[in-house]
A and B are shown apart, each in its own frame.
Chain A
Amino acid sequence: MTIEEQIKNYEHILRQYNIINQISRTVATTLDLNRILRIILTGVTFGDGFGFNRALLFLLDRGAKTLSGRMAIGPSSGEEAWTVWSEIQQSNYSLEEYLNSDKFDIQHKTSALDEQIKNIHIPIIPGKILSSCLEDGIPRNVDISGNYDNADPEKISDSSILETELLTYLDYPKFCVIPLISRAKKVGVLVVDNKFNQREITPDDINFLLMLSQFAASSIRNTIIYNDLKDSLAALGKLNNKLEFLKEYNEKIIESIPVSIIVMDHDFRVTLCNSNGEKLMGSAKENIVGKQIKKGLIFIDELDLFDEAARVMEEKRAEGFYKANIIMGNHERSDIFDITLVPFKFSEDTPEGVVIIIEDVTKTVTLEQSLMEAKRLSELGRLSATVAHEIRNPLIAIGGYANRTKKKYTENGRVNSEDLDIIIGEVARLEKIVNEILDYAAERKVEYKEIDIGKVLQECISLADTAAEQKKINISIECGGIFIENRKIIINGSADKLKQAFINVFNNAIEASETRDTVSICVQFEEDGDGKYIIVKVNNRAYLGSEEDIHSIFLPFYTTKSRGSGLGLTITKRIIEQHSGVIYVVSNIEIGTTFTIKLPLIRF
Chain B
Amino acid sequence: MKKILVVEDDMPIRNLYKEELIDEGYDVVTAPDGVAGYELYRKEMPDLITIDIKMPNMNGLELLDKIRKEDKDIPIIIYSAYGEFTQNFSTWAADEYLVKSSDLTEFKNKVRELLFKK
- Interface pair B16/A400, CB less than 8 Å apart: yes
Note all chain A residues with C-beta closer than 8 A to B12. Answer: 394, 397, 401, 422, 425-426
A395, A404, A422: the one within 8 Å of B20 (CB): A404
Complex Cα spacing A403 to B108, Å: 14
A551 an interface residue at 8 Å Cβ cutoff?
Answer: no
B110 within 8 A of A: no
Binary contact track B81-118/A, C-beta < 8 Å → 1, others 0 = 11000000000000000001111100000000000000
Which residue, A389, A400, A560, A563, has most C-beta atoms of chain B within 10 A?
A: A400
Across the interface, which residues of A come within 8 angstroms of B102, CB to CB?
A: 395-400, 402-403
Also in contact, A400 and B9, with CB within 8 A (given A393-B81, A395-B102): no
**Residues of chain A from 398 to 429 with CB closer than 8 A to chain B in the complex:** 398-404, 422, 425-426
Please give, as numbers and ranges, the residues of chain A lying within 8 Å of B82 by CB-CB distance: 389
Q: Which residues of A contact B56 (CB under 8 A)?
A: 560-562
| Bound form: Cα–Cα A401–B102 in Å | 8
B1-56 interface with A by 8 A CB criterion? 9-10, 12-13, 15-16, 19-20, 32, 55-56
Q: Which residue of A lies closest to B14 (CB)?
A: A397
Taking a contact as CB atoms under 8 Å apart, the answer to whether A396 and B15 are in contact is no
Q: Inside 8 A of B104's CB, which chain A residues have their CB?
A: 400, 403
B13 touches A403 (CB 8 A): no
A565 to chain B, nearest CB (A): 14
Q: Are A401 and B16 in contact (CB under 8 A)?
A: yes
Residue among B12, B32, B55 with max Cβ neighbours from chain A (10 Å):
B12
Q: How many residues of A contact B (CB 8 A)?
A: 21
B13 engages A389 (CB within 8 Å)? no
Given A389-B82, A403-B102, A403-B103, also A396-B19 (CB < 8 A): no
A395 CA / B104 CA spacing, docked (Å): 13
Question: For A397, what are the chain B residues with a Cβ–Cβ distance below 8 Å?
Answer: 10, 12-13, 16, 102
Does A118 make an interface contact (CB < 8 A)? Answer: no
Is the contact region of chain B dominated by helix, strand, or loop, or is it mixed?
A: loop
Residue contact B81 to A562, C-beta cutoff 8 Å: no
User: Which residues of chain B come closer than 8 Å to A394, judged between CB atoms?
Assistant: 12
Asked if A393 and B15 make an inter-chain contact with CB atoms under 8 angstroms apart, the answer reads no
Pair B13/A393 contact, Cβ less than 8 Å: yes
Are A399 and B103 also in contact (CB < 8 A) when A404-B19, A426-B12 are? Answer: yes
B100 touches A396 (CB 8 A): yes
- Shortest A51–chain B CB gap in Å is 110
Given contacts A389-B82, A396-B102, A399-B103, contact A563 B16 (CB under 8 A): no
Q: Is A392 an interface residue (CB 8 A)?
A: yes
How many A-B pairs have beta carbons closer than 8 Å: the answer is 52
Task: Give, as a whole number of angstroms, the nearest-CB distance from A392 to chain B.
Answer: 4
A404 to B101, CA, bound (A): 14
In whole angstroms, what is the CA distance A400 to B104 when docked?
7
Q: Is the CB of B16 within 8 A of A392?
A: no
| Contact assessment for A400 and B10 in the assembled complex, using a CB-CB cutoff below 8 Å | no
Q: How far is the CB of A419 from chain B (nearest CB, A)?
A: 8
Contact yes or no, A422 B100, CB < 8 A: no
Q: Across the interface, do B20 and A563 meet the contact criterion of CB distance under 8 Å? A: no
Q: How far is the CA of A595 from the CA of B2 in the complex (A)?
A: 49
User: Which A residue sits closest to B81, measured CB to CB?
Assistant: A392
Q: Bound state CA distance, A426 and B10, in angstroms? A: 11
The CA of A394 and the CA of B12, in the complex, are separated in Å by 8
B16, B19, B82, most chain A CB atoms within 10 A: B16
CB of B109 to closest CB in A, whole Å: 15
Which residues of A are found within 8 Å of B55, using beta-carbon distances?
562
Residues from chain B with a CB closer than 8 A to the CB of A562 are 9-10, 32, 55-56
Interface contact B16-A404, CB-CB below 8 Å:
yes
- Contact residues in B for A561 (Cβ distance below 8 Å): 56
Give Cα A153 to B36, complex, Å: 131
Chain A residue with Cβ nearest B56: A562
Q: Check A396/B13 contact, CB under 8 A, given A389-B81, A560-B56.
A: yes
Contacts of A563 in B (CB 8 A): 10
What's the Cα separation between A422 and B102 when bound, in Å? 14
CB pair A400–B13 under 8 Å, yes or no, is yes
Given A389-B81, A392-B81, A562-B10, A422:B101 Cβ within 8 A = no
Residue of B nearest to A560 (CB): B56
1/0 contact string of A369-398 vs chain B (CB within 8 Å):
000000000000000000001001111111
Kindly report which residue of chain A lies nearest to residue B100, judged by CB atoms. A396
Shortest Cβ distance from A390 into B: residue = B81
Q: How far is the CB of A8 from chain B (nearest CB, A)?
A: 125
Closest to A421 in B: B12
> CA–CA, A400 to B20, complex, Å?
9
Bound CA span A109–B102, Å:
110
Cβ of A549 to closest chain B Cβ, rounded Å: 11
Provide the bound-state CA to CA distance between A392 and B40, in Å. 27
Chain B residues whose CB sits within 8 angstroms of the CB of A401 once the complex forms: 12, 16
Is A392 touching B15 in the complex (CB atoms < 8 A)?
no
A392 surroundings in chain B (CB, below 8 A): 81, 100
The closest CB in chain B to the CB of A419 belongs to B19
B10 touches A393 (CB 8 A): yes
Which chain B residue shows the least CB distance to A396?
B102
Bound-complex Cα distance A526 to B55 (A): 42
Instruction: Name A392's closest neighbour in chain B (CB-CB).
Output: B81
Q: Does the CB pair A396–B101 fall under 8 Å? A: yes
- A12 and B9 alpha carbons, distance in the complex (Å): 135
A-B contact pairs, 23 of them (CB 8 A): A389-B81, A392-B81, A392-B100, A393-B13, A393-B81, A393-B100, A395-B102, A396-B13, A396-B81, A396-B101, A397-B13, A398-B102, A399-B101, A400-B102, A400-B104, A401-B16, A403-B103, A422-B15, A422-B16, A560-B56, A562-B9, A562-B32, A562-B55
The chain B residues found within 8 Å of chain A, CB to CB, are 9-10, 12-13, 15-16, 19-20, 32, 55-56, 81-82, 100-104
List the 7 shortest-distance A-B pairs measured between CB atoms, nearest first.
A399-B102, A397-B12, A400-B16, A562-B9, A392-B81, A400-B102, A396-B102
Known: A393-B81, A400-B102. 6 other contacts (CB 8 A): A389-B81, A395-B102, A396-B101, A397-B16, A404-B20, A422-B16
